[in-house]
Amino acid sequence: MDFFKEEQNDSWERLRAECGGCMRCELGKTRHNLVFGVGNEQADVMFIGEGPGEQEDLKGEPFVGPAGKLLDTMLELIDLDRTQVYIANIVKCRPPRNRDPLPDEQAACVGWLDRQIALVDPKIIVFLGRIAAMAFIKSDFRITREHGQWFDVQGRKAMAIYHPSALLRDPSKRPETFVDLKTLQREIKNLYA
């Protein structure tokens, strides 16, 4: 009950202050910077990645390395930019050597993201890659088969697409992602129709 009441009174200032010094898991010990999130705090569309990489850890901002450059291009393809969307990650601190965040690290961290989602209140959520999709859509999510499909997540339209890092490693997946992005663009247009 108290927890619910706290959520009702949540604010960005409060969330930033509480999250800023987080030491809920071991990743807090090795980070240079906590990577909170960036973008339009009233966005209709939110993008959720997995966790910060090296560049993000150094800068304290999500998707600023090579994968981030590709994410910017993907946004451009559908007439979006970072000022129009909100971007955050499942875990806020860099996992060593960019390994996948462990289940207990995700569990310790995801409450911050839940509060970010509640504050942004997006109409559409796009999960970048398998790890984010498994955390929010379903634990057995298969990115190869289910990317580009719409799901309901907490009453919001949600889709997962290939992570930009996967597209850097395997450019043959780019045409499928282009189709997914166009599906997303149509849904965004429907919001304003």
Q: Which is nearer to ligand URA, 165 or 177 (CB)?
A: 165
* Rounded least distance, CB 71 to ligand URA, Å: 8
Q: Closest CB to ligand URA belongs to which residue?
A: 49
Residue by residue, DSSP assigns 120-189 as: H--SEEEEESHHHHHHHT-TT--HHHHTT--EEETTEEEEEE--HHHHHH-GGGHHHHHHHHHHHHHHHH
Considering beta carbons, is residue 39 or 49 the nearer one to ligand URA?
49
Q: Between 62 and 122, name the residue whose CB sits nearer to ligand URA.
A: 62
Taking the least distance from each CB to ligand URA, the nearer of 124 and 131 is 131
Write down the least CB distance from residue 36 to ligand URA, Å.
11
The arrangement of strands across the sheet holding 151-153 comes to 38-39, 86-89, 45-49, 124-128, 156-161, 151-153
Residues that bind ligand URA (CB under 6 A): 49-53, 56, 62-63, 67, 89, 128, 165
CB of 80 to ligand URA, least distance (A): 17
What burial class does residue 44 get, using C-beta atoms within 10 Å of its C-beta: 0-12 exposed, 13-18 middle, 19+ buried?
middle
Q: How far is the CB of 170 from ligand URA (least distance, A)?
A: 16
Q: Which of 39, 171, 35 is nearest to 109 (CA)?
A: 35
